[in-house]
């Protein structure tokens, strides 16, 4: 803030703020404020006074880069809004403003505003309304950072000094730099840190403004989204292969089973179609039967012929279909295809009408359970259930585990090279005139109708065709280059630390940036805890491996899924050159996680992957076993000394080939894919709440990067850019599920 006596030597954007040493007479100041109500500046007059009235003024700039045509006001009633009767103006082409009077400032940035980037001299549209706030004593720069600062003050009783110190320390800048116009900062590292914090905060601000609406408490909404320092531990529990409708389609208040759950978004979803787009008269049979091998309950394929073309309850007491046998949640059903291109074909541009056609399990893809029998259902009732949460990438576990840690797809360099082991593993796809994916190329012997047999493709393999940049990506299951891996060491590898690199399914070591890299660079602790990791590693290092390639996952002892440890694909965890990093970050559930949780020594960020028989994956795990296990883990976390400041996200890697009716937002080439369940469990979770915010797998990464002010992963930026371009919203960061209140 500056008085009009100090107008000289102050830039037009108000970045140098000086308060006159002689107090302005109270009566005159009050009269000036009354005279200024509801109006903008009239320009300077004699001795720098506005020509229409005299009194103190507040000048500043709305940054992030600069916001043009934003409404700025003195927030006289401290409600975070520019109300009728409050002194207001609009920002100029440089984002600058001058207001008559003093006080806290609010900037309302609507869709008529523009964001101007001085570095590129470009202007972009504002697609989501924003509200920025700045305290009375630090309002020369108004942006997302000052909004965060005021939110922290709201939570700490109004202590600006404490909020400023804490925020500057978290971002890694000085307190003076915190309140600077970052566009003018010469230090590249400081400028980047400030810009990252601004960019990462914008979506939270947009969500808060949307939540508050026209008449709600925008201050409370903003405070909740910026009170993240109260969370000191994040735990992600990553289960397997269930769509939202499959487990939570009957949940009261959720967007569930169409025609069954009254709060579904639709009562008449698209009926399932055949390959040629015609409506199927019935669902296809469940090819090769309903249940996995070794089950006491057996339902053969013939018992599923003629099922109605709609969703059905797998565990209904009336029987599966042409049988009275009940398939309850303790029974392991057969697996369903869930691969990168298949998932896109099933979604079919958003119609979700080819799940049955492009499944190797036919009608089983349309099944769901009565989730109210699950222990996790009760957890959802007591905490927050997100019913608009999508798998980050199309397809299966391999790619979605990679997306969870890097928001990227793994690269396979020169896959088409004559000497490349993967040169015969490139998928055959059909594309349109613009080169966009249309479908997997059908095989010559493919059935003309799914009623006659499951689809057959020319080549549905592990690697994408070469893209316009000459890159190949691994999108379906490949094996880690380091042990434990389902590919044994080469005969010449006496160390037994590596998977045979000559095998077509061995992925070369990856070097893309992961969330682990960002956490380590910031000096923050983290670990991936794998169920059966320790035992499986020991077996892999022995001379008598119990899981050679020929042994299927369900027969492994212990049941460890090699592609469920995403960090084991990265060069940063090479067991020979980075043994220390490997030991520090790749840990075991039984030996490490339970001990750390009980002792209150879990790292800042923990990922936990249950071993195969406890992860709910169809084909080798039941719904009931995984449900009981995860509920037990949550109970142990709630008993941990760290629980009071913990956030736990229970979600699934992907849908496992099961149908879900919710429309999938159009993003980038990797996803998002089908909707999946997610529970947000924390002392700060909104209790009994169904969160409608749009999320995906990487929303957990968004939360982590926002909480600890980490640089955004490129894939997060690319995804949100694509979503907005395609007419959707960016993905949320889970803060919509939280409520902190005032401390």
For 321-381, give the secondary structure using H, E and C.
Answer: CCCCCCCCCCCCECCCCCCHHHHHHHHHHHCCCCCCCCCCCHHHHHEECCHHHCHHHHHHH
**CA dist 1 → 66, 99, 100, 164, 559 (Å):** 19, 10, 10, 18, 65
| Rounded average pLDDT over 547-574 | 76
Report yes or no on 485 lying in a domain. yes
Q: Residue 219 forms beta bridges with which residues? A: none
Cβ 248 vs Cβ 371: under 8 Å: yes
Domain boundary among 226, 255, 284: 226
CA atoms of 485 and 478, how far apart (whole Å) = 10
**484 preceded by cis ω (within 30°)?**
yes
Q: What is the pLDDT of residue 557?
A: 58
217-243 residue pLDDT tens? 999 999 988 888 899 999 999 999 999
Residue 48 has pLDDT above 60, yes or no: no
Residue 117 has pLDDT above 90, yes or no: yes
Residue 25 has pLDDT above 60, yes or no: no
Nearest 5°: phi and psi at 445? -100, 20
CA atoms of 347 and 115, how far apart (whole Å) = 35
Q: How confident is the model at residue 545 (pLDDT cuts 50, 70, 90)?
A: low
257-279 residue pLDDT tens? 999 999 999 988 899 999 999 99
Report yes or no on 335 lying in a domain. no
Q: What is the pLDDT of residue 38?
A: 35
**CA dist 151 → 148, 227, 724 (Å):** 5, 7, 27
Report yes or no on 363 lying in a domain. no
Pick from 368, 159, 202, 173: which is nearest to 269 by CA?
368
**CA dist 409 → 372, 395, 400, 425 (Å):** 36, 12, 9, 16
153-183 residue pLDDT tens? 988 889 999 999 999 998 999 999 999 999 9
Q: Between β-strands 384-386 and 689-691, what pairing exists: parallel, antiparallel or unpaired?
A: parallel
Residue 6 has pLDDT above 50, yes or no: no
Pick from 301, 428, 438: which is nearest to 364 by CA?
301
Q: Residues in the chain, how many?
A: 743
Cβ 239 vs Cβ 630: under 8 Å: yes
Residue 498 has pLDDT above 70, yes or no: yes
How many C-beta atoms lie closer than 10 Å to residue 186's C-beta? Answer: 6
Q: How confident is the model at residue 742 (pLDDT cuts 50, 70, 90)?
A: low
120-147 residue pLDDT tens? 999 999 989 999 999 998 999 999 999 9
Pick from 432, 349, 455: which is nearest to 394 by CA?
349
Map residue 313 onto helix, strand or coil. Answer: strand
Residue 497 host element (H or E): none
Strands (E), 3-74: 57-62, 66-68, 71-74
- Sign of the C-alpha dihedral computed for residues 708, 711, 712 and 715 taken in this order: negative
In degrees, rounded to 5, the angle at the alpha carbon of residue 194 between the alpha carbons of residues 726 and 202 is 35
644-670 residue pLDDT tens? 999 999 999 999 999 999 999 999 999
List the domain range (segments joined by +) for residue 654: 234-241+371-421+473-737
Q: What is the pLDDT of residue 698?
A: 98
Q: What is the pLDDT of residue 207?
A: 87
Report yes or no on 75 lying in a domain. yes
CA atoms of 561 and 554, how far apart (whole Å) = 10
Residue 12 has pLDDT above 50, yes or no: no
Which of 222-226, 398-402, 574-578, 674-678 has the least mean pLDDT?
222-226
Report yes or no on 364 lying in a domain. no
Report yes or no on 494 lying in a domain. yes
Domain total in the chain: 2
CA atoms of 352 and 412, how far apart (whole Å) = 30
Map residue 208 onto helix, strand or coil. Answer: helix
Q: Residue 450 forms beta bridges with which residues? A: none
Q: Between β-strands 689-691 and 695-696, what pairing exists: parallel, antiparallel or unpaired?
A: unpaired
89-98 residue pLDDT tens? 999 999 999 9
DSSP string, 422-468: TTT-BPPEEE-TTS-EEEEPBPTT--SSTTSS---BS---SBPPP-T
Report yes or no on 562 lying in a domain. yes
Q: What is the pLDDT of residue 155?
A: 84
Q: What is the pLDDT of residue 743?
A: 42
Residue 631 host element (H or E): helix 623-638
Residue 336 has pLDDT above 60, yes or no: yes
Which DSSP letter does residue 94 get?
Answer: T
End-to-end CA distance of the chain: 29
Q: What is the pTM of this model?
A: 0.87
Q: What is the pLDDT of residue 203?
A: 84
Q: Across all residues in the chain, what is the average pLDDT?
A: 90
Q: What is the pLDDT of residue 531?
A: 96
| Rounded average pLDDT over 714-719 | 96
CA atoms of 605 and 703, how far apart (whole Å) = 11
What is the chain's Cα-based Rg?
28
Domain boundary among 193, 226, 259: 226
- Sign of the C-alpha dihedral computed for residues 172, 175, 179 and 181 taken in this order: negative
Residue 15 has pLDDT above 50, yes or no: no
CA atoms of 164 and 135, how far apart (whole Å) = 11
CATH of the domain at 666: 3.40.720
Domain boundary among 173, 200, 226: 226
Residue 35 has pLDDT above 80, yes or no: no
Q: What is the pLDDT of residue 200?
A: 85
Report yes or no on 450 lying in a domain. no
CA atoms of 179 and 194, how far apart (whole Å) = 10
Cβ 463 vs Cβ 427: under 8 Å: yes
Torsion of CA 436, 390, 401, 413, to 10 degrees: 10
| Rounded average pLDDT over 440-444 | 98
Q: What is the pLDDT of residue 317?
A: 86
Order of all β-strands in the sheet with 57-62: 96-100, 57-62, 141-142
Q: How far, in whole angstroms, is CA 318 from its chain's centroid?
A: 39
């Amino acid at each position: 803030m500056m008085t009009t006596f100090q107008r000289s030597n102050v830039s037009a954007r108000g970045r140098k703020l000086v308060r006159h040493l002689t107090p302005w007479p109270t009566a005159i100041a009050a009269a000036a404020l009354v005279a200024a109500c509801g109006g903008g500046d009239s320009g300077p007059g004699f001795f720098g006074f506005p020509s229409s009235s005299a009194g103190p003024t507040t000048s500043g700039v709305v940054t992030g880069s600069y916001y043009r045509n934003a409404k700025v006001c003195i927030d006289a009633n401290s409600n975070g809004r520019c109300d009728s009767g409050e002194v207001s103006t609009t920002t100029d082409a440089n984002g600058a403003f001058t207001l008559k009077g003093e006080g806290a400032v609010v900037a309302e940035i609507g869709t008529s505003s523009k964001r101007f980037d001085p570095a590129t001299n470009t202007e972009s549209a504002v697609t989501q309304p924003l509200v920025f706030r700045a305290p009375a004593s630090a309002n020369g720069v108004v942006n997302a950072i000052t909004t965060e600062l005021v939110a922290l003050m709201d939570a700490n009783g109004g202590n600006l000094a404490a909020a400023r110190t804490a925020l500057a320390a978290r971002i890694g800048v000085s307190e003076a730099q915190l309140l600077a116009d970052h566009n003018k900062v010469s230090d590249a590292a400081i400028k980047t840190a400030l810009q990252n914090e601004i960019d990462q905060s914008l979506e939270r601000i947009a969500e808060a403004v949307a939540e508050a609406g026209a008449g709600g408490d925008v201050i409370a909404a903003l405070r909740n989204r910026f009170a993240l320092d109260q969370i000191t531990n994040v735990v992600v529990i990553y289960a397997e292969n269930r769509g939202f409708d499959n487990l939570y389609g009957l949940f009261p208040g959720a967007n569930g089973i169409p025609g069954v759950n009254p709060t579904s978004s639709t009562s008449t979803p698209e009926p399932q179609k055949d390959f040629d787009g015609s409506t199927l008269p019935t669902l296809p049979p469940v090819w090769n039967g309903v249940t996995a091998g070794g089950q006491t309950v057996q339902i053969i394929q013939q018992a599923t012929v003629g099922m109605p073309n709609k969703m059905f309850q797998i565990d209904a007491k009336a029987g599966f279909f042409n049988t009275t046998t009940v398939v309850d949640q303790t029974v392991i059903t057969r697996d369903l295809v869930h691969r990168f291109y298949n998932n896109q074909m099933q979604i079919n541009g958003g119609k979700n009408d080819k799940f049955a056609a492009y499944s190797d399990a036919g009608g089983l893809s349309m099944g769901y359970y009565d989730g109210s029998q699950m222990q996790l259902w009760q957890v959802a009732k007591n905490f927050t259930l997100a019913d608009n949460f999508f798998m980050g990438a199309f397809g299966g576990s391999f790619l979605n585990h990679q997306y969870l840690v890097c928001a990227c797809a793994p690269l396979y360099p020169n896959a088409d090279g004559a000497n490349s082991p993967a040169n015969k593993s490139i998928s055959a796809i059909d594309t349109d005139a613009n080169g966009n994916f249309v479908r997997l190329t059908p095989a010559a012997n493919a059935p003309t109708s799914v009623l006659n047999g499951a689809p057959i493709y020319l080549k549905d393999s592990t690697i994408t065709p070469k893209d316009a940049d000459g890159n190949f990506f691994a999108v379906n299951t490949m094996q880690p280059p380091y042990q434990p891996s389902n590919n044994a060491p080469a005969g010449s590898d006496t160390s037994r630390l590596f998977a045979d690199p000559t095998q077509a399914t061995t992925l070369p070591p990856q070097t893309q940036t992961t969330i682990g890299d960002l956490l380590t660079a910031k000096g923050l602790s983290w670990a991936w805890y794998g169920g059966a990791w320790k035992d499986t590693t020991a077996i892999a290092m022995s001379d008598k491996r119990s899981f050679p390639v020929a042994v299927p996952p369900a027969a492994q002892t212990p049941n460890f899924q090699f592609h469920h440890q995403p960090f084991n694909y990265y060069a940063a965890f090479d067991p020979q050159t980075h043994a220390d990093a490997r030991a520090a970050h790749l840990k075991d559930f039984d030996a490490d996680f339970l001990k750390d949780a009980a002792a209150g020594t879990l790292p800042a960020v923990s990922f936990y992957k249950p071993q195969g028989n406890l992860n709910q994956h169809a084909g080798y795990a039941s719904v009931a076993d995984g449900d009981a296990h995860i509920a037990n883990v949550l109970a142990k976390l709630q008993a941990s000394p760290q629980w009071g400041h913990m956030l736990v996200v229970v979600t699934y890697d992907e849908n496992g080939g099961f149908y879900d009716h919710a429309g999938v937002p159009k993003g980038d080439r990797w996803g998002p894919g089908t909707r999946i369940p997610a529970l947000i469990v924390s002392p700060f979770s909104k209790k009994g709440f169904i969160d409608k915010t749009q999320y995906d797998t990487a929303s957990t990464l968004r939360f982590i990067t926002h909480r600890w002010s980490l640089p955004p992963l490129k894939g997060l930026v690319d995804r949100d850019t694509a979503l907005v371009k395609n007419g959707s919203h960016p993905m949320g960061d889970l803060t919509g599920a939280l409520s902190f209140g005032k401390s």
